[in-house]
Amino acid sequence: MSDDRRDGHDRSDDAEQVRAYLVHLRGGAPFLSGHDSRLLLRWMDEGVEVGLICRALDQAAEKRRIKRVKTPLSLRNAQTVVNKREPVPPAAKGALADVVQALASSDVPHEVQASVELAALSALEGEALVAAAVDVARRTIEELWAACDRAAFRAEAEEELAALRDMLDEGSWERALEGVARDRLRQRHPLLSAKHIWDTVHG
C-alpha cells in the first residue's frame, strides 16, 4: 500500500528522518539520488521501520570504514541488510534506561542533554521508541559537530586519506574529508548511534 498515512501514520515523516540520518552520516548534499529516492519510497511502501534502516546505514558505514571505502554513503549500501530483515524481536520494558544513565553521567553537556530527552520518551515502546531515540541521537551528534573543532577532525581525516589525495578531484576530496571527519566524531560518542539504540531496545 502506498498511502503514506495508512494506519494513521505519516510515512513521509519517516522518509524525512531516514534522509536526515543518511546526510548526518555522510555530510555533503542534503538530497537523495534518484536511485536512493526510489529505494526509500519502496521501503516506505513496504512499511520498513526507520530504526532498522538507520541501523543498516550504521552497519554499512562501519564496513566501509574498515574497507577504507571513500565514495559517498548511500541507501544502496544498506540495501542488503534491509532486504534480509527478519521479524523484529519485542522491546524490553525500560529498554533505554542504561543508555540514559550512561549519558547522564557523561562529562559532555550535549550527552547529558540527550539523556534528558531520551528519558522523556519512556512512554513510547518498540519502533516508536527507536525512531524517536534515533532522532534525539542524530540531533545531538549534529550539535556536537557544529560545536567541535572541525579543523582538528579535518586534519585527522587528511592524514587518514593522504594516500588517496592524488586520485580524487577537489569535490570528491572535500566530500571524503567531511565523511571521515564526521565518522571520527561519531566514534567518540558510540551510545548515540542508531545501531546501538536499536540493538539496546530489541536486543
Q: Answer yes or no: is pLDDT of 8 > 50.
A: no
44 in a domain, yes or no? Answer: yes
Do 156 and 108 touch, CB atoms closer than 8 A? no
Q: What residues make up the domain containing 70?
A: 6-202
Contact 53, 60 (CB under 8 A): no
Domain count, the chain: 1
**pLDDT tens by residue, 46-82:** 999 999 999 999 999 988 877 777 678 899 999 999 9
Assess if residue 132 is contained within a domain.
yes
pLDDT single digits (tens) 152-161: 999 998 998 8
pTM of the model: 0.86
CB atoms inside a 10 Å sphere around CB 97: 14
Residue 1 inside a domain? The answer is no
Task: Find the DSSP H helices in 27-169.
Answer: 34-45, 50-67, 79-83, 97-104, 109-119, 126-147, 150-161
Does the pLDDT at position 4 exceed 60? no
Tens digit of pLDDT for each residue in 81-121? Answer: 998 887 777 766 678 999 999 999 999 999 999 999 999 99
Is 79 among the domain residues?
A: yes
Give the type of residue at 166.
D
CA 31 to each of CA 19, 36, 37, 41: distance values in angstroms, whole numbers, following the listed order: 8, 9, 9, 14
| C-alpha span between 151 and 83 (Å, rounded) | 38
